[in-house]
A and B are shown apart, each in its own frame.
Chain A
Amino acid sequence: TQLLEQSPQFLSIQEGENLTVYCNSSSVFSSLQWYRQEPGEGPVLLVTVVTGGEVKKLKRLTFQFGDARKDSSLHITAAQPGDTGLYLCADMDSNYQLIWGAGTKLIIKP
């Protein structure tokens, strides 16, 4: 059974700082998805990465997929309070079901 481990579990930083959060898998990723979940809401898809070494950018967010397709990172530049939320990674298994990490809870203090 595939396990996704996200680190750190919790991160609190000041506005304007940079940060990186990680998602590591016990087996090769199939189709890795990153979501952001704000308090009281459901997860919202940010990006899907499939190819080893792939880098995708979404404004101040940079998503990187490891060459071996067992790790991924999300880097936020100049964090803003609006970036606060729970960041989740998920991979699709062979039955097209999503396997989820427990998430990184991010707080950006103004």
Chain B
Amino acid sequence: NAGVTQTPKFQVLKTGQSMTLQCAQDMNHEYMSWYRQDPGMGLRLIHYSVGAGITDQGEVPNGYNVSRSTTEDFPLRLLSAAPSQTSVYFCASSLGVDQPQHFGDGTRLSIL
């Protein structure tokens, strides 16, 4: 019962470094999304994908890139990390855009 798997669980970066947060799901879900969760705020949508080869921006896309080459994987790339990107990042997937979402356990990212 893997569900949605995110790696790594924790990461510390220096300002200006780049990295990729991995997300994989084994439920054959078409819809996948990335959120960030900051203290005192609701989850905010970064990018989403309605299927392989299709991605779109959410509420807070600046500084992040995504791609969806397969149904299973939806990596999130930080191009040049900034302290403002310190957050907990969650990947989610669902059968369709209006279906209940299943979340991974998150990646806790600190930018120094």
Q: Do A and B come from one complex?
A: yes
The answer to whether A88 has its CB under 8 Å from any CB of chain B is yes
| B42 x A103 contact (CB < 8 A) | yes
Q: Which B residues are closer than 8 A to A by beta carbons?
A: 4, 40-45, 48, 58-59, 90, 92, 97-98, 100-101, 103-106
Interface residues of A in 11-37 (CB under 8 A from B): 31, 33
The answer to whether A98 has its CB under 8 Å from any CB of chain B is yes
Interface size on A, residues (CB 8 A): 22
| B43 x A100 contact (CB < 8 A) | yes
The chain B residue with its CB closest to the CB of A35 is: B103
Q: Which residues of B contact A9 (CB under 8 A)?
A: 40
Segment of A39-47, A56-64, A66-74, A76-84 in the binding face: A39-47
| A44 x B42 contact (CB < 8 A) | no
The answer to whether A99 has its CB under 8 Å from any CB of chain B is yes
